[in-house]
Chain A
């Protein structure tokens, strides 16, 4: 078990290193291959009116003439120990974890990310609770009443849920519930949980439901398929032969075995979401990581983009690590291999 954990930890770490290299490569090396000079990179940090000499000086101070490996090393070092940036106008301190400075705002990236995390977390956790409970419950009921009206209705709805993009369902629900009925705020509203829990939930209700609808559809279908398979297993017959109540047969024996693939999918989905629910945050104009990523890309603000990509990658890796470890708890056969 201990070796299993250590092996997974090493794997996760290696994954993060690779992701950081690839991201760094895409944002700093590929432009150079495409013909961007160190001066062109540096010119983004200085004003439009800067002379070529200033640009050259800044490029040198920011280390853009150094080999790529050295630049990457400096970037990684900055994350752990912090860094200093010299733009010519003075030295800026960037405390650890330093993901660099924004081209546009001139602010370090990390504090921006930290500011936006609670929004995305709130959105993701609330939606996750809704879609896991809803999706699994619907999936179980559909499997047990296979072919019934309920099964067809819920699987039809699930198909719609999987197929309809969030900017469509989001827009439609905004039109109906916010602008039409006036039940929910018309997007853009976010109240921190610590400030006013009721308002926090009220503001997020519609985004939660929209996001959960999309995911619940997948989970309902997966649960249904898993339950149909496990309920035909021999050990279900054994559980019934013991005289176990049918509800316990379904939940303790059937669902328990069907949960494993759901757990895997959940790890990946949740990890991706807390790295930024891009479409939902954009549709509802919520100031989360996803919206931040979109703004950063639109502004071609490379350090911001890199920061948000790396943080998202970290969440995905951590989430799948947690899932891997939970796997061993859920399925005892994993512990051996």
Chain B
């Protein structure tokens, strides 16, 4: 059994307008020391998944089913209090916007010390030393002085470093980073990603990076999972997904990535339309209203939900087209366009 195994996870929210199926049957696993990239548009269920693993939907309105196994322990059926004890200690999370995710009234040090002392019975002095040590390790200069600064006194990149220091303060074995670089300057993004990968190696933790930017995870991840409308539509080894993607939506994501080596006059290849409503997910393949190849399936796209099938070593795709048809399209139509651009 893998370190983290998620099996048929469903997270549904009943609302006045209907049932919101934010996550609808998600299955994946992750080993220690490995990185999984979860990619998708806003509203595809990425963040809900990560909060679900941490048990942060417990006690709310969410209806959760499926299994979450962490280090041989099932979390979905476990008590809220037990999962709380694991949060921050065994599994930790880094959030998107470090300014709004840190309490404005407490110093950075106070917040790290608090995180450390929840799970470690130590004095404030010891915890403070640890906080300074952690700030130093994430590359904050003069950590002994900056430990008493407030979040608003830090720059965006520094804040995200402090956030990482807080998340790592109890040596978590599973680290989930939810869009860790989206709110940051481009110049700082790469630094933060490098830092996370370095620290992951050092702590040998399992890392999940959630992003809408396939480029961010392509290099860092061992595996990539592409989500659409609450479902996994393509999942497999990063190289296989990045170099031989088989789902039209993944092609769209690749085509939407701006690249510096392109001629400025050329246009991106955006995906037409907008992400589906999670209340009224389109019948059949959720992507079919936006899929340029939907008519090739002889109407199956509108009626039948495609199954997640293996196409090559561990590479799963949820598409009605046959493997040969998809590979033909990729080799002959998509790849040449992406490469010439």
Contact = CB atoms under 8 A, between A and B. Distances in A.
A336 B85 CA distance: 37
B222 to A, nearest CB: 24
A141 interface: no
Contact of B87 (A233, A242, A330): A242
Interface of B: 51, 54, 56, 84-89, 92-93, 95, 97, 100-105, 107, 114-115, 118-119, 150, 152-153, 166
Contacts of B97: 234
A242 B115 contact: yes
A80 interface: no
Contacts of A336: 152-153
B101 A238 contact: yes
A131 to B, nearest CB: 24
B152 A333 contact: yes
Given A234-B95, A237-B56, A237-B95, A243 B103 contact: no
Contacts of B102: 235, 238
Contact of A256 (B87, B105, B114, B152): B105
Contacts of B86: 243
Given A234-B95, A332-B105, A333-B152, A240 B100 contact: no
A233 B105 CA distance: 13
A332 B87 contact: no
Nearest to A259: B105
B70 to A, nearest CB: 14
A243 B119 contact: yes
Interface of A: 233-235, 237-246, 253, 256-257, 330-333, 336
Q: Top 6 A-B pairs ranked by shortest CB distance?
A: A243-B88, A243-B87, A234-B100, A242-B88, A235-B103, A234-B101
Nearest to A238: B101
A328 B56 CA distance: 33
17 contacts: A235-B100, A235-B103, A238-B102, A241-B56, A241-B92, A241-B95, A242-B114, A242-B118, A243-B88, A243-B89, A244-B88, A244-B114, A245-B84, A256-B105, A257-B105, A332-B105, A336-B152
A332 B152 CA distance: 9
Interface of A is mostly: helix
A330 B119 contact: no
Given A234-B95, A234-B97, A241 B88 contact: yes
A246 B92 CA distance: 17
A241 to B, nearest CB: 5
Contacts of A238: 95, 101-103
Given A332-B105, A333-B150, A243 B84 contact: yes
Contacts of A245: 84
A174 to B, nearest CB: 43
A331 B104 contact: yes
A329 to B, nearest CB: 10
A318 B209 CA distance: 53
A239 B103 CA distance: 9
Contacts of A244: 88, 114, 118
B84 A235 contact: no
A242 B115 CA distance: 6
- Most chain A CB within 10 A, of B51, B86, B114, B119, is at B114
- Most chain A CB within 10 A, of B105, B119, B153, is at B105
B114 A233 contact: no
B104 A257 contact: yes
B242 to A, nearest CB: 30
A168 B105 CA distance: 41
B95 A332 contact: no
Given A237-B51, A330-B105, A336-B152, 6 more contacts: A233-B100, A237-B101, A240-B56, A253-B103, A257-B105, A331-B105
Contacts of A242: 87-88, 92, 114-115, 118, 166
A233 B97 CA distance: 11
Nearest to B166: A242
A319 B5 CA distance: 58
Nearest to A245: B84
A239 B95 CA distance: 11
A235 B87 contact: no
Contacts of B115: 242-243
Contacts of B101: 234-235, 237-238
A256 B86 CA distance: 25
A240 B50 CA distance: 13
Nearest to A244: B118
Contacts of A257: 103-105
Contacts of A233: 100
Given A256-B105, A331-B105, A332-B105, A241 B87 contact: yes
Nearest to B104: A333
- Most chain A CB within 10 A, of B56, B100, B103, B150, is at B103
B118 A243 contact: yes
Contacts of B100: 233-235
A65 to B, nearest CB: 59
